[in-house]
Chain A
């Protein structure tokens, strides 16, 4: 027994003394030494930090098969299993972590506003603190290059495309009615509150295969995953008010928002221009709610918004030499449920469903139009991450639209309807070749039930980092979109329209500065044409239209050169012509301005606790058709100028007083003309200019946030 004990002790001692030396060198892929890397044997304390030559050396008592680990900031961790005795003069090369901040990124065509300062062009707050925007996030996006400012419409027009060519997605699911209801020549706004989102990506072309049914652009919004605290938000504005409350539990939370807008008091104080007289000014009641629940391996979100809008407007009509009374009531319901689950081993699953119901009741004098649209988007997306250099995405989706219209005039009732169902799927992959080169090939396939067509749309994006701060990216894609409800309700089987995008982008970013420029060429094919504009029922429809858009966009943002001043400047040049609808020939459509520019400035004044902002927007004249002249669409409106100002004053951490005025100089911007349908006695067509509803718009708001950790008492009183 004693012998055994001695043997044991001896063994232990020898073990103690048989140390093995481990040594080697850590470099990057090019062989440059890396200093400060942590090299160690897994599950032991034995290890060392590399010196300035990338060399390391340590000893261990471990024997046999062991794992040596190397970890270093901005590089992928390295693991090698081998016999300890063989761990001599190791040469270890680390891969750069392609997720790290200075890696190349696929930016061609897209702008993002989010948390990550590296790729974001806009910051989350920019959306609400841009002068002239008054809380409409669509307005903030219109200061970016590639967009067209169409003052009488308000929606997003991108690179020679109509507003309908841009689709909006919330948490990956389609929004069917993204804008507030409005009348002709009265700008509409984005329907959703910018505060609900913490990530916005605006793509002006050649976007991912995940998105379809948009010829020009997609705007993707992500709702906040987890609110930070219990809080109540109160807003009191010259145009209405709102109240919101967020309640947070351990793994779930609910936010509720109610907004009431009524323009009556404002318009009594500051009347609109002639031609925009309301019998009953714009009034809307809106409610939004978000429920979120965190599971062990996933997150479920449920978003619902309901809104009712109504107004009565005396619309001038050049043909009547008088006004007609438009009475509009719109009810909109939108629900969106999504889940994001991690299945382990790099697999993720994202099922989702959005449902929309919209009803418009429009009365124009004796005519009554009732539109009903029900729509749904069902989607399943799956992704697999093999490693940081290879990711794979795929998905299936189904879009269903059911549209009905009742048109009643002089006791005659016409009903029209259509169903539009689309099944689609996509495959896409992210491939990174080190930190310098990235590739994203994708393919989208869709089946359109009405026209019985099967379509393939390839997409490809790539990026190449040429120097520390600069990179080139390029992208190509084919895009398809069904015709508008206005046409489909007469002819269900019209084939989809098509666009191809080719982009080349250069971007220079240094902390605090962003410069980017993009040239693009866009080709339109199969655009819908029709012959009879008086009555669509008797019209011929065909896909014989075509067109193009080409141009260059510039963007420069500087947050650094002058202390407390942030500004961005954007400029777009576009040349676009198309032959579509009832155009007699190829022409530049009336929503395209050859030159557009914006300058947005924000200046923080420490002593006043205030942010001052000026925005200046310019657009060259847009074409309009004057029947008194020969040719088609070859007259141009005067240039558009708008200088706006805003100030946000932080009364305290939780109270903000906000004031803004748009078009300070009161410029009388003319957006186009309405001509009479028939010439007068003198043989000329009379006309009426389409102007701004008001020269200036003033806005005062008080925003108050009450959170539990600051003002418990206030909360109890509510």
Chain B
């Protein structure tokens, strides 16, 4: 009896231990990100990803950091490298998540959007259709996900601006996403929960004049 008790205790302890290190690691990475050390944060997310196996979240954040970082890069060679790296990591996230994951799809659409900013005449024609299709499918899968609605609206605004149309017509969608953001509960710990601040900013800059 005692032996079983002991074993139970030990296994339980080990189990708790493992979960803790994941939590500690993720929290550490978010803390680094918060402090602005995104290179270190991205590296840590990658390390967690490789240690955890079968968990898409660390790769999701590692990819997100690369994608966000790529948008403002001026050197096209470095930018293309970063995007290739981002795609590599995002592919890992895809591998470990369920097949149609709307959150991962949003990141893929953002990654392609960054490619378009790299050289619109090379990537614009090919990728804009792909991006539209990704958002269409993501919306079908997760019609109430605020990040899907907001990211799609932001993309549509950009396209409208390019074609000389009024981006303002997508403001109601951003407002709708903000409603959903305020009620949004992540599925589990560390699940994606970003976007509200940016949605507010886009709304303030583009809609209420």
Contact = CB atoms under 8 A, between A and B. Distances in A.
Contact of B81 (A5, A74, A198, A709): A74
Interface in B126-151: 126, 129-130, 132-133, 135-136
B163 A652 contact: yes
Nearest to B74: A511
A123 B25 contact: no
Given A101-B81, A228-B129, A709-B136, A38 B122 contact: no
Interface in B99-123: 118-119, 121-123
B176 interface: no
Interface of A: 1, 4-5, 8, 36, 38, 40, 42-47, 49, 69, 71, 73-74, 100-102, 115, 117-118, 120, 123-125, 198, 228-229, 231, 511, 559, 566, 609, 650, 652-653, 707-710
B133 A228 contact: yes
Tell which of B39, B76, B121, B125 has the most Cβ of chain A within 10 Å. Answer: B121
A653 B159 contact: yes
Given A45-B21, A566-B121, 14 more contacts: A1-B3, A38-B46, A38-B47, A43-B53, A44-B47, A45-B48, A45-B51, A49-B43, A69-B50, A115-B126, A124-B125, A229-B136, A231-B129, A707-B129
Given A45-B47, A47-B43, A652-B163, A559 B121 contact: yes
Nearest to A709: B136
Tell which of B50, B84, B85 has the most Cβ of chain A within 10 Å. Answer: B50
A343 B60 CA distance: 28
Nearest to B119: A117
Nearest to B46: A38
- A contacts with B: majority SS: loop
Given A69-B50, A707-B129, A707-B132, A49 B39 contact: yes
B193 interface: no
- B contacts with A: majority SS: helix
Contacts of A1: 2-3, 6
B50 A40 contact: yes
Interface in B40-69: 40, 43-44, 46-48, 50-51, 53
Contact of A229 (B10, B25, B85, B133): B133
Interface residues of B, number: 41
B31 interface: no
Contacts of B126: 115, 124, 198, 228
B2 to A, nearest CB: 5
Nearest to A126: B121
A5 B123 CA distance: 64
A469 to B, nearest CB: 10
B188 interface: no
Contacts of A8: 6, 10
Contacts of A69: 50
A47 B47 contact: yes
B166 interface: no
A47 B21 CA distance: 14
Nearest to A231: B129
A24 to B, nearest CB: 16
B81 A652 contact: no
Given A49-B39, A653-B163, A228 B130 contact: yes
A102 B3 contact: no
A125 B82 CA distance: 25
Given A44-B51, A73-B81, A229 B43 contact: no
What 3 pairs between A and B have smallest CB-CB spacing?
A228-B129, A38-B43, A229-B133
B34 interface: no
B199 to A, nearest CB: 22
A220 to B, nearest CB: 19
B163 A49 contact: no
B81 A115 contact: no
Contact of B123 (A44, A74, A115): A115
A118 B51 CA distance: 35
B129 A115 contact: no
B77 interface: yes
Contacts of B51: 42-45
B165 interface: yes
Contacts of B136: 229, 708-709
